[in-house]
Structure 1
């Protein structure tokens, strides 16, 4: 009995049992919203003027501090200036939360995504003969719904409303489209009229009937309902016509085009309030608009863009101590009478 007990006691030179090591590894991840790395204002001027578009796929090499050190175009857009702008922008703006190895030590890695370059609103490129105007956005998620190639090639000549055609009416219609998780248009609201009710109504009817979308993606990359701002240009088809003098004699008077309405023709208000906590995290956030002219492109919400899990450098008080602050932005679009001054004579 004593001999057995003695045998169970480890000899002084034996090694202790190995401790279990906890795996502390974590993947590398963007520190902010990748959608902020490239904006409409970054579109290369030459490409915009020439109407050149494309998608640039890139891969970044990230060091252990979370800073990109190299960019490689892995899927070219077909245009050197778009690809060059892609790498320049992501190297300047992209920042990451470093990954960690099994012992929790920060490590770098690689990250891949792509930027889809399309002519931004305000510099819209409409196809010859009119049709859908295209905007620019970063592919990734969350992101809004995107029109399919079939939708972007819907031509007005095939769908022109008869009354507008007879009246010689042309114009651009801006619409807010509601798109379900399957990519179908469920609702349409005109937010910028062409000056012709016939063209405005026909544009919405056309989108409901013909338009198809790649569904919006939520923060987890899953299809979800979303909204899309669509610009559509009605342009009269070019047809062979008799001599203008003969046409004028036959009609008595050539059709007159309706003058489009000023784009900011309705009152609107907007307010944005956000709290930045002392640790740089985002607190309460509120964004509200009233009136079509206050709506943001693609139905965006400033709280989605600037709030959420974003972190910022905190505000400092007079002693240099971090403090919480509330930022408030308000806008007011009003329309009023112009005072008239009556001329007087002596």
Structure 2
């Protein structure tokens, strides 16, 4: 009974975390401390020599201390040297005032957009612009869960093998959402230390996760990635 109560409380607070909060003085989103963590001098040499420009959009997972724990490029097709350099720079340098709820720090996901532009004349310098939570373009929209993700992991679904062995932990997953709003792929990017919990979490996310699909600038459904942090299992 005590074990079930601990798991029930954990899932309850996870549901509160993932429900869409009203932005009051008690809830604060993560705020970037350094307005420009990437500088023109950081332009990747390989990309500059190949005359590669572009806009890289990412999802950042910020920790309780405001550092970037994970960086995921939103468009898998943009996985170039430019995209890799952008994630590496933000992961190393970006520091946030962590998101908080009632004054308590919390992990959160933040959208970021970095535009790399090469000079048009030999005597000019490249430019780099970093935007945090940039405005959507046209009818663009991200994938959003139809219900709090905590509801995907009911008490009765605790992986049996993990429960028998007393295994617990936290699982962070990267989900690929298809045009119908279903979870097509699940990858564990921060495991619990238990294969049973990691695989069980992904199975439940694929089975139970339902999203309003992401939209492109013309309002058409598109595939999108969704970062799901901190699914906590307490044996």
Give me the TM-score of the superposition, normalised by structure 2: 0.45
The answer to which structure, 1 or 2, has the higher relative contact order (CA under 8 A, 6+ apart) is: 2
Higher helix share: 2
Structure index of larger Rg = 1
Give me the TM-score of the superposition, normalised by structure 1: 0.32
